[in-house]
Structure 1
């Protein structure tokens, strides 16, 4: 507010709506960059303040939650979870690891698959799936994981630019175009620019980018066996796995690929001598293995093995919503000094003790008959609800973030077919994308690929609240003339320059914002500025909107600009300043490739 003298009296002039909205966004930017307060809380608090000041109408305060972009992002996350639960993505990823490949070829293979996956599923999900494979390859090749994790992260970000559903900025831009110009961008409208940028970017990270990263000895080389948590587990042989002729040794190639050790065979309750390599496997036998949880789960699925207590779950290993969870045994736990069978863990709680880890020690006793000690780490299998009840009853402590979903590999074909049909219907214009994705989610739920609990767990609610809070704020920003003011400033700065230079400046500004802010927030601010620039210069608004979509996804300079960059920070042994080494030339490359392609496909 400003004090002025009016008629001999001191009066107070309230700041304009434009000033207030700029102050609110300045506070939002400052808090988001500071990073100490959750970004969804920052955005929601800003929405409450703007509504209290009259910048956002009360009846429109929660309009963002009804916006199609919010629903599409939530549905994409659920579909991504279903595809991963079906093993459809794993079918492709399983062939990537080859520790003998030179680093550039390994990066090229992983980056290409990562970019392709990110075009159709959430790019965070794509990285989450491929990162363990990349780290496993680094461990086998005895090289630093930091050489390859950043190229993989950047590739998954690049791949999201290719389709409408690949990344939130594309979804937000499509929704904004519908509001501003009367029709959204289609599913494949992003392909020409996004594909060109992705191909150039993947080539860069594979051939040049990884060489720009610092090489630090002993940092992010590979995870030790103890840190990985290698468990001794017993997997049951069922009718599907035993044909009377398959020998234990024939499972060795799959075990080697997964870095899993086959320790022996149990028949009729007794361990066979040695490793039983020449023994044919029979129904009712148990294969004794040693490995990390994901390797055990994958081996169990691909070798068609089962587990003790599978009869308690309809469908056995392919049952819905089964999870492997890890828990440590403290002093005084109910299970300490006892066995799983004596506690009737399976029959009382429908939870199987699948494996035990004890400082790398191998066991000769049956897992269910093993006397558990304080300090042991247990690998429990069951539904999330059953595991939660069992861990509380046993007195053990679940390890945070150490859960592995049991993949329903027999449903991979159905999952791919349903998803492909949904995308085809959307591209052909038979059904709106929102309806097609919603139908896909319903089908996945009916097939058991996502349970009722998983539907809600798959959605990243912080992003949903952020987006739903910023949409009304962005509308207020545009109504107040804020976007028009910034657009006018850019036009004034580039006065007398060619029209494409104005687009280039907008993309540089958007890229810079995206390196420090959430890409959804960046898109919502930059989109109206882009339309304002198009109106001020009398050019095609689609070119500016496409430029914003590409630039908002280019968060390569910092670990905070995109969640994928944050995820790799620890495992890769990176420092804050490492990102710009590869990120800066990559952003310049994106600008150099995207700008001419936009001018050709969406001429000014």
Structure 2
């Protein structure tokens, strides 16, 4: 966006118009409405029923989780739905000996299928519909493309239920691998008289500089301290609980000034008595922890907890944790108090995976939240008003009824998505203003014009979903929507099937863990490898491509 403005392609008003675009404003309001429904606990009320059914058999668990995820993802932010389903699914896996790898990827894919079923299911749908309205075309109705989407959902679910169990990786007993690996390198050291690190801050101690040790806690004069920072001073007779990198563990036995007290399990009575425990958490999409390091975030001091290990892109990291650049989808093993973990969850910084506790439904908030959500959907689907006005009124009512506090409404908005949306909208504006969209459309028409529109649509769908696996879905939608509108005008056919093809192809991406936020979320907890997504997701993407080539024109004739 900045480059378009600086280069003079767009003036500042045009460049920043994405922030005032109906798609951006609608999406922000939808985040608040879905956040009100989600925070009311209405979904948590179903958790014990889901767990009870899922324990019967793996296939029943697969069907139940996929159906529930798809149903809620049609109306609520799909990353929020997957964040709720992850700890429930992992609870079922631990209690039934089902490998998480057999369950989590289908849950992510089910969220993608569910999101395509309604106008508010994904931000991409809202973006494409708003673009259509901007070009003087009729915007899409709430359930206008639901028929085609449900047909693709049935095809996709048939693949996941019948073929999926054979293609998904079979990794048993690996869901606690991160914990087990870290436990091997937890030990206690006593600071003895003559130690060179006495009266030195942690950051300047030999333990940190020479041995890359991560100090978790200090037992000093009978008091256990976890609120450690880089400037915390080491004293004589301190008992340090530390995580030692594997390659330096044996060298600690010969270190002068420290006495190794022996290996300690991280889940021990001492920790529990102080209300400290070990939790597995994941960094979700949009978390402000992503792109920072533990050191730059001052994680230990700010959140009063320690990180024992990190699983990043399939690799378990135990060494130099403070300098590791955190990423969305990273799985962390943290030592801290339950209250601090809840605080991180409330700020949407992490999603807890290691335990699931059923929450009580707050009916005082749940009833108005559900009624407001239904009202937003009905008002838009019955054409009583536009989706923007409907969502705006719904967002306001969430606050006015006390369902959400103003700060909770603010936190419900995925600001990273809002800014991304505003930024990519400038690309579509630039393509339109410079004539680039028409130029590309002319090229496509001259190249594919001799083919039947069905073949043109099929090839466009193929190009779109390949592009989405390489760049963001919103960027792809913003680039291709003006192009397909120009193309349909040149070919003198309806633009509707092309627009729906862009919507579906941008959302239904299964080939890589980075192609969609929910895929990234399940990557570490499922202990997947990159090839697992290629092996399971590529055939599904090809099947959906072929199915969409016939289903979309059936529901949206040229």
- TM-score when normalising by structure 2: 0.69
Q: Which residue of 2 aligns with 1:347?
A: none
Helix, strand or coil for the counterpart of 1:169? helix
Q: Which residue of 1 aligns with 2:283?
A: none
1:523 equivalent to 2:477? Answer: yes
| Higher RCO (C-alpha 8 Å, min separation 6) | 2
The verdict on how the C-alpha distance between 1:598 and 1:376 changes in structure 2, with shifts beyond 3 A counting, is closer
Deviation, structure 1 residue 113: 0.8
Q: Which residue of 2 aligns with 1:402?
A: 341
Picking from 37, 48, 60, the partner of 1:105 is 60
1:206 equivalent to 2:152? Answer: no
Contact 1:139 1:223 in 2 (8 A): no
Q: Which residue of 2 aligns with 1:501?
A: 455
The verdict on how the C-alpha distance between 1:159 and 1:223 changes in structure 2, with shifts beyond 3 A counting, is farther
**Alpha-carbon distance in structure 2 between the residues aligned to 1:78 and 1:177:** 24
Specify every segment of 5 or more residues in structure 1 that has no aligned partner in the other structure, as ranges: 1-46, 229-327, 339-357, 379-390
Contact 1:487 1:533 in 2 (8 A): yes
Helix, strand or coil for the counterpart of 1:88? coil
Q: How does 1:225-304 map to 2 (within 5 A)?
A: none
Over aligned residue pairs, what C-alpha RMSD do you find?
3.3
- TM-score when normalising by structure 1: 0.64
**Alpha-carbon distance in structure 1 between the residues aligned to 2:28 and 2:121:** 13
Q: Which residue of 2 aligns with 1:559?
A: 513
Q: Which residue of 2 aligns with 1:125?
A: 80
Deviation, structure 1 residue 329: 7.7
Picking from 417, 420, 425, the partner of 2:371 is 417
Q: Which residue of 1 aligns with 2:549?
A: 595
**Alpha-carbon distance in structure 1 between the residues aligned to 2:45 and 2:516:** 27
Moved more, 506-515 or 328-337: 328-337
The verdict on how the C-alpha distance between 1:396 and 1:96 changes in structure 2, with shifts beyond 3 A counting, is closer
The verdict on how the C-alpha distance between 1:396 and 1:177 changes in structure 2, with shifts beyond 3 A counting, is closer
The verdict on how the C-alpha distance between 1:100 and 1:227 changes in structure 2, with shifts beyond 3 A counting, is farther
Q: Which residue of 2 aligns with 1:480?
A: 434
Deviation, structure 1 residue 225: 9.7
Picking from 468, 487, 509, the partner of 1:514 is 468
Helix, strand or coil for the counterpart of 2:113? helix
The verdict on how the C-alpha distance between 1:507 and 1:337 changes in structure 2, with shifts beyond 3 A counting, is closer
Q: Which residue of 1 aligns with 2:327?
A: none
Deviation, structure 1 residue 583: 1.2
Deviation, structure 1 residue 72: 1.6
Specify every segment of 5 or more residues in structure 2 that has no aligned partner in the other structure, as ranges: 184-214, 226-264, 280-299, 308-333, 347-358
Q: Which residue of 1 aligns with 2:48?
A: 94
Helix, strand or coil for the counterpart of 2:50? coil
The verdict on how the C-alpha distance between 1:433 and 1:395 changes in structure 2, with shifts beyond 3 A counting, is closer
Larger radius of gyration: 1
Deviation, structure 1 residue 94: 3.2
The verdict on how the C-alpha distance between 1:503 and 1:376 changes in structure 2, with shifts beyond 3 A counting, is closer
Deviation, structure 1 residue 446: 3.1
Q: Which residue of 2 aligns with 1:84?
A: 38
1:164 equivalent to 2:103? Answer: no
**Alpha-carbon distance in structure 2 between the residues aligned to 1:333 and 1:463:** 46
Q: Which residue of 2 aligns with 1:34?
A: none
Contact 1:226 1:359 in 2 (8 A): no
**Alpha-carbon distance in structure 2 between the residues aligned to 1:531 and 1:361:** 63
Cα offsets for 1:126-182 (capped at 9, x unmatched): 111111111111111112101111011001011100000000111011101101133
**Alpha-carbon distance in structure 2 between the residues aligned to 1:544 and 1:333:** 68
